[in-house]
Amino acid sequence: MTNPLQDVLKSGVIVVTGTNTTANHPIIANYIHEAVTKHGAKLIVIDPRRIKLVDLSHLWLRPRVGTNVAWINGLMHVIIRDNLQAQAYIDSRTTGFEELKKSVVRYAPDYVSGITGIPPQDIEAAARLFATQGPGSILYAMGITQHTTGTNNVKCLAALSMLCGYVGVEGGGVNPLRGQNNVQGACDMGGLPNVFTGYQTVTDEAVREKFAKAWNVGKLPGKVGMTVTEMTATGGKDIKALYIMGENPLLSDADVHHVEKNLAALDFLVVQDIFLTETARLADVVLPGACFAEKDGTFTNTERKVLRVRKALDAPGEAWDDARIITALARKMGYEMDYAGASAVMEEINALTPSYGGITYERLEQGGLTWPCPTADHPGTPILHTHKFTRGEGVFFPIEYEPSAELPDAEYPFVLTTGRVYEHYHTGTMTRKGNALNRLYPEALAEINSEDAKGLGISSGDYIHIVSRRGKLKIKASVSGMTDRGVAFVPFHFYESTVNELTNSALDPVSKIPELKICAIKIEKAA
């Protein structure tokens, strides 16, 4: 997020898109509720599902799944046509406005309505509300990114925000809501194929030399590595061995039949986890790790705030915390790696990572610190791009709408979209282990639109088959107005109803994110 999560309390208008915030980031939904009911903010929900926040919204736009670029361009078209853009901000802080202006000319409300299904007057209203009631915050999640056009969707949202002068101001910003406790931190720490910690690139020789010296090795590889999706795609071919720590791609990746085949083709698979997950079952060696309650460390939340994690109890049996396993394995391979605890690791991170330079355990005792925080006396940076953009000038990218990779047709007439429910988390490895949450949401349910259900002869509680070009799933139906006509939603938490056997592994060319949010299916009532 460019802004803190409580910043919505200072927003005049809030756009929520591609995030079922109430279910997946409940605390942020609390703040949105407070912003609207106590501070008079206007809420615009733009989402194909009738999410809970629609009840609170002033305006709900329901685009067809996968048509994000079209509606965002439509909003920008109206804003520029009516001269509502923040011209002084654009002139002083950005570049590429003229190109953007040209590219959105085509996206008049009538044209956009044809692509998205949103009534033209709603596009007009949303554009005016967003441009005139600022500061405006844009909150989004995987409904924006898990598309073959995900990167373009995000660039468009950034352009919309800059167009109104909302990037770098309180109550504004472009704010991705990250779905996992430490997905921000895993990226920050160099758990990516192209960068070391703090996004220092592996292709930069000076950076490599710095790390090689600190890590006491001759040289470090300079070739950008493979992403998760690329590694699983080449399992058994280019990739012979995999070391998987705390991940369950066999439920979470797209088109998992393929993933399973490729993991099985590996010469050697090591899985380090707290449970024998579906992925761990395929492993040659399983290493028992410790969960968050059993270790010291830090997580970095979605607003870039580094927060302490503290050991509260001992891991069960002979399970070890992950740091101990990694360092012991390194030593077994002849590399000296040893630390006096998590704070000693953080000291090394501080020394090698400018954006984390001042984030020490001593300071974290007083509360979280938001990066960039380069020095011990730096207060942290809750809002990014306040005076100028990190790269200098903000760039408007002109972007054209492109349809999703797999659209419904005569044989597969429905759209499948996936996500999470409030009561469960990711692949259910943790939330499905106890009674409490299972009591509230015991089994997978496919949301089917009530009009569609009528046509198919399906009622809530009936079992149905959902079939895509890649797989077939038997699942119980929940009939409602939550999804639009022609759209089914299935959560991916449930191993016995693995919806990712159906999803499409087509990737966004830049981010390599699979198009989990849309593929074509047919729906049949199960006998």
- Provide, rounded to whole angstroms, the least separation between the CB of residue 297 and other proteins: 3
Q: Which is nearer to other proteins, 330 or 526 (CB)?
A: 330
> Could you give the string, one character per residue 354-393, with x where binding to other proteins holds by CB under 8 A and - elsewhere?
-------------xx-------------------------
Check: CB of residue 462 under 8 Å from CB of residue 454. Answer: no
Q: Does residue 66 touch other proteins according to CB under 8 A?
A: no
Gyration radius (Cα) of the chain, Å: 24
**What is the β-pairing status of strands 463-467 and 472-480?**
antiparallel
Quick one: tokens of 76? 């920008």
Q: In angstroms, rounded to a whole number, what is the distance separating the alpha carbons of residues 474 and 444? A: 10
Q: Which stretch binds other proteins (CB under 8 A): 89-97, 104-112, 222-230, 393-401?
A: 222-230
Q: Where are the beta strands (DSSP E) in 402-497?
A: 414-419, 445-449, 463-467, 472-480, 487-491
For residue 415 the two structure tokens come to: 């759209």
* 479 touches other proteins (CB under 8 A): no
Interactions with other proteins, residue window 161-190 (CB under 8 A): 177-190
Binding characters for other proteins, 126-165, by CB under 8 A (x = yes): -------------------xx-------------------
Q: For residue 526, state whether it binds other proteins (rule: CB under 8 A).
A: no
Q: How far apart are CA 30 and CA 33, in angstroms?
A: 5
Strands 414-419 and 487-491, bridge-based pairing: parallel
CB of 56 to other proteins, least distance (A): 7
Measure the CA–CA gap between 211 and 197, rounded to whole angstroms.
10
Task: Please state, in angstroms and rounded to a whole number, the distance separating the CA atoms of residues 297 and 310.
Answer: 6
Using CB under 8 A as the binding rule, whether residue 205 contacts other proteins is answered as no
Give CA–CA dist 245/280, Å, rounded. Answer: 10
17, 149, 161, 298: residue in contact with other proteins (rule CB under 8 A): 298
Q: Which parts of 417-436 interact with other proteins (CB under 8 A)?
A: 422-425, 429-431, 433-436
Secondary structure (DSSP) of 131-146: HHS-SEEEEE-HHHHS
Give min distance, CB of 111 to other proteins, in A: 31
Nearer to other proteins, 108 or 192 (CB): 192
Complex with other proteins: residue 346 or 464, whichever CB lies closer: 346
- Phi first, then psi, for residue 10 (nearest 5°) are -105, 5
Closest CB 179 distance from other proteins, rounded Å:
6
Q: Does 460 bind other proteins (CB under 8 A)?
A: no
Residue 335 makes contact with other proteins by CB under 8 A: yes
Q: Which of 258, 378, 512, 525 binds other proteins (CB under 8 A)?
A: 512
With tokens 């191993």, the residue in question is: 495
Euclidean distance between CA atoms 333 and 241, whole angstroms? 15
Part of the chain binding other proteins (CB under 8 A), chosen from 27-35, 116-124, 160-168, 385-393: 27-35
User: Stretches 109-117, 151-159, 237-245, 390-398: which one binds other proteins (CB under 8 A)?
Assistant: 237-245
Q: Is 8 in the site for other proteins (CB under 8 A)?
A: no
Residue closest to 131 by CA, chosen among 93, 102, 160, 168: 160
33 binding other proteins? (CB under 8 A): yes
Nearest to other proteins of 194, 386 (CB atom): 194
Q: Are 21 and 33 in contact (CB under 8 A)?
A: no
Mapping DSSP to helix (H, G, I), strand (E, B) and coil, where does residue 445 land? Answer: strand
The site map against other proteins for 246-285 (x = CB under 8 A) is xx-x--xx-------------xx-x--xxxx---x--xxx
455 phi, psi to nearest 5 deg: -65, -35
